[in-house]
Structure 1
Amino acid sequence: MVLLSGVVVAGIPQLDTGSQAGADADAFDDVERVQKAQYAQSQFGGSDDGPDRSFEAVYVRDDDGNVLSKSSLLAGLRYQRTIRENETIDAALHDDGVTGLSNLVAKRAAGSPNASFDEQIRALEGATPAEVERLVGRTLSNDPRALRYLPADHGRNETTATDRRLLVAFDADAGNGTVDNATAALYHSASERSAAGFFVVNSAAMRDARSHFFGEMVELVVPAALAFILVVLGFAYRDLVDVVVGMVGVALSVVWMFGLLGWLGVAAGMTSIIPVVLVAGLSIDYGFHVFNRYREQRGEAEAIREPMRRGVSLVATALVLVTVTAAIGFLANLSNPLPLIRDLGVSITLGVVSALLIFLTVVPALKIEVDGLLERAGIDRHKRALGHGRYLRPALTKAVTVARRAAPAVLVLTLVVGSAGGVAWADLDEESYQQNDGVVAEWKQELPDPIGWDPHPVPERSQHVDEVYQPASAEAATQEPILIEGEVTSDDTLEDLRRGVDYIDEQGLVVDRADTPGVRSPVTAMQSVAARNDSFAAVLDDADTDGDGVPDRNLEGVYDAFYAADSEVASSVIERDDGEYESLLVTLSLDADYADASDVVPELAEGADRMADGDDRTATVVGNLAVNDAVLGEVVGGILTTMVLALAAITLTLAAVFEYMHGSATLGLVVSVPIALVLGLVIGGMAVLSIPLTLLTALLMSLVIGLGVDYNIHVGDRFADERRAGAGTFEALEAAVTGTGGALLGSTLTSAGAFATIALVPHPQLQSFGAIVVVAMTTAFAMSVLVLPSLLTLWDRYVPASVATAATPAEIPQD
Structure 2
Amino acid sequence: MRETLLGRATRFVTEHNVVVLVVMVLLTGGILAGIPQLDTSSQSGGTADQFEDVDRVQKSQYIEDAYGNATDDESTRTFDPVYVWNEGGNALSKESLLAGLRYQQAVTENETVQAALHDDGIQGIENLVGARAADGDGSLDAQIAALESMSDSEVEAVLGRVLDENPRATQFLPTDHEGTTSADRRTLAVLDTTVDSETREDAESVLYEAATERSDAGFFMLSSDAYDEATSQFFGEMVELVLPVALALILFILVFAYRDIVDVVVGMTGVVLSVLWTFGLLGWLGVEAGLMSIIPVVLIAGLSIDFGFHVFNRYREERGPEDEIRAPMARGVALVATALVLVAATASIGFLANLSNPLPVIRDLGVTVTLGVVSALGIFVTVVPALKISIDRTLERVGLDRRKAPLGHGTYLRPVLEQSVTLARRAAPVVLVLAVLVAASGGVVWTQLDQESYQQADGDVAEWKQQLPGPLGWEETPIFEQQRHVESVYQPANADDAIQSEILVEGDVTSPSTLEAIDAGVQTIGQEGLLIDQARTSARDSPLTAMQRVAAESEEFAAVFAEADTDGNGVPDQNLAEVYDALYAADSETAGQVIERVDGEYRSVLVTLSLDADFSESSAIAPKLDDGAAVMADDGQRTATAAGPIAVNEAVLDNVIDGVVTTMLVALAAIVLALVVVFRLMHGSATLGAAVACPIVLVVGLVVAAMYLLDIPLTLLTALLMSLVVGLGIDYNIHIGDRFADELRGGADSVSALRTAVTGTGGALLGSTLTSAGAFATIALVPHPQVQSFGSIVVVALVTAFVVSFLVLPSVLLLWSRYAGVSLAVSTPTEEPTPQD
* Residue 650 (structure 1) aligned with residue 674 (structure 2): no
Q: Which residue identity does 1:116 align to in structure 2?
A: S
* Residue 75 (structure 1) aligned with residue 96 (structure 2): no
* Residue 206 (structure 1) aligned with residue 227 (structure 2): yes
CA contact (8 A) 1:422 1:681 kept: no
CA contact (8 A) 1:24 1:337 kept: no
Q: Which residue of 694, 697, 701 corresponds with 2:718?
A: 697
* Residue 13 (structure 1) aligned with residue 36 (structure 2): yes
Return the offset for 1:42: 1.1
CA contact (8 A) 1:422 1:679 kept: no
CA distance in 1, matches of 2:376, 2:821: 37
Q: Which residue of 309, 312, 315 corresponds with 2:333?
A: 312
* Residue 752 (structure 1) aligned with residue 776 (structure 2): no
TM-score (norm 1): 0.97
Return the offset for 1:802: 5.0
Q: Tell me the equivalent position of 2:124.
A: 100
Return the offset for 1:25: 4.9
CA distance in 1, matches of 2:780, 2:827: 50
CA contact (8 A) 1:20 1:269 kept: yes
Return the offset for 1:116: 2.6
Return the offset for 1:614: 3.9
CA contact (8 A) 1:795 1:802 kept: no
CA contact (8 A) 2:48 2:61 kept: no
Q: Which residue identity does 1:127 align to in structure 2?
A: M
Q: Which residue of 205, 209, 212 corresponds with 1:191?
A: 212
CA distance in 1, matches of 2:716, 2:764: 33
CA distance in 2, matches of 1:139, 1:330: 63
CA contact (8 A) 2:688 2:821 kept: no
Aligned CA RMSD, in angstroms, stands at: 1.2
CA contact (8 A) 1:271 1:343 kept: no
- The superposition leaves residues 741-782 of structure 1 with CA deviations (integer Å, 9 ceiling, x where unpaired) of 110000000001101111110111100000000000000001
CA distance in 2, matches of 1:720, 1:763: 44
Q: Which runs of 5+ in 1 are unaligned?
A: 808-815
CA distance in 2, matches of 1:11, 1:416: 48
Q: Which residue of 563, 569, 574 corresponds with 1:542?
A: 563
- The superposition leaves residues 758-811 of structure 1 with CA deviations (integer Å, 9 ceiling, x where unpaired) of 11101111000000000000000011111100000100011142533469xxxx
**Is the deviation greater in 648-657 or in 610-619?**
610-619
Cα distance change of structure 1 residues 714 and 800 upon mapping to structure 2, 3 Å threshold:
closer
- The superposition leaves residues 138-180 of structure 1 with CA deviations (integer Å, 9 ceiling, x where unpaired) of 222221111111111112xx21111111000001111222211
- The superposition leaves residues 438-491 of structure 1 with CA deviations (integer Å, 9 ceiling, x where unpaired) of 111111111112221122222221122112211011100011111100001111
Q: Which residue of 171, 177, 180 corresponds with 1:154?
A: 177
* Residue 414 (structure 1) aligned with residue 414 (structure 2): no
Q: Tell me the equivalent position of 2:520.
A: 499
CA distance in 1, matches of 2:822, 2:234: 59
The alignment partner of 2:472 has SS state of coil
Return the offset for 1:89: 1.4
CA contact (8 A) 1:511 1:589 kept: yes
Q: Which residue identity does 1:315 align to in structure 2?
A: V
Q: Tell me the equivalent position of 2:7.
A: none
- After superposition, residues 103-182 of structure 1 pair within 5 angstroms as 103-112=127-136, 114-155=137-178, 158-182=179-203
The alignment partner of 1:145 has SS state of helix
Q: Tell me the equivalent position of 1:459.
A: 480
Q: Which residue of 105, 112, 122 corresponds with 1:88?
A: 112
The alignment partner of 1:772 has SS state of helix
Return the offset for 1:295: 0.5
CA distance in 1, matches of 2:798, 2:752: 26
CA distance in 2, matches of 1:806, 1:60: 79
Return the offset for 1:609: 0.4
- After superposition, residues 631-670 of structure 1 pair within 5 angstroms as 631-670=652-691
- The superposition leaves residues 62-82 of structure 1 with CA deviations (integer Å, 9 ceiling, x where unpaired) of 112111100000000000101
CA distance in 2, matches of 1:625, 1:794: 52
Q: Which residue identity does 1:276 align to in structure 2?
A: V
**Is the deviation greater in 460-469 or in 355-364?**
460-469
Cα distance change of structure 1 residues 727 and 49 upon mapping to structure 2, 3 Å threshold:
closer
- The superposition leaves residues 310-350 of structure 1 with CA deviations (integer Å, 9 ceiling, x where unpaired) of 10010001100110111111111111111110111111111
Percent identity between the aligned chains?
64
Cα distance change of structure 1 residues 627 and 281 upon mapping to structure 2, 3 Å threshold:
same
Q: Which residue identity does 1:226 align to in structure 2?
A: L
CA distance in 2, matches of 1:747, 1:800: 30
CA distance in 2, matches of 1:270, 1:26: 23
CA contact (8 A) 2:170 2:535 kept: no
Return the offset for 1:616: 3.1
Cα distance change of structure 1 residues 61 and 18 upon mapping to structure 2, 3 Å threshold:
same
Q: Which residue identity does 1:798 align to in structure 2?
A: Y
- After superposition, residues 531-610 of structure 1 pair within 5 angstroms as 531-610=552-631
Q: Tell me the equivalent position of 2:640.
A: 619
* Residue 736 (structure 1) aligned with residue 754 (structure 2): no
- The superposition leaves residues 411-441 of structure 1 with CA deviations (integer Å, 9 ceiling, x where unpaired) of 0001101110122111111111110111111
Cα distance change of structure 1 residues 411 and 600 upon mapping to structure 2, 3 Å threshold:
same
CA contact (8 A) 2:125 2:169 kept: yes
Return the offset for 1:279: 0.4
CA distance in 2, matches of 1:231, 1:802: 43
* Residue 286 (structure 1) aligned with residue 310 (structure 2): no
CA contact (8 A) 1:270 1:340 kept: no
CA distance in 2, matches of 1:49, 1:26: 23
* Residue 471 (structure 1) aligned with residue 492 (structure 2): yes
CA distance in 2, matches of 1:230, 1:800: 42
* Residue 358 (structure 1) aligned with residue 379 (structure 2): yes
Q: Tell me the equivalent position of 1:447.
A: 468
- The superposition leaves residues 662-682 of structure 1 with CA deviations (integer Å, 9 ceiling, x where unpaired) of 110000000111111111111
Q: Which residue identity does 1:176 align to in structure 2?
A: S
Q: Tell me the equivalent position of 2:84.
A: 60
Cα distance change of structure 1 residues 468 and 49 upon mapping to structure 2, 3 Å threshold:
closer
CA contact (8 A) 2:501 2:645 kept: yes
Return the offset for 1:29: 1.3
CA contact (8 A) 1:796 1:802 kept: no
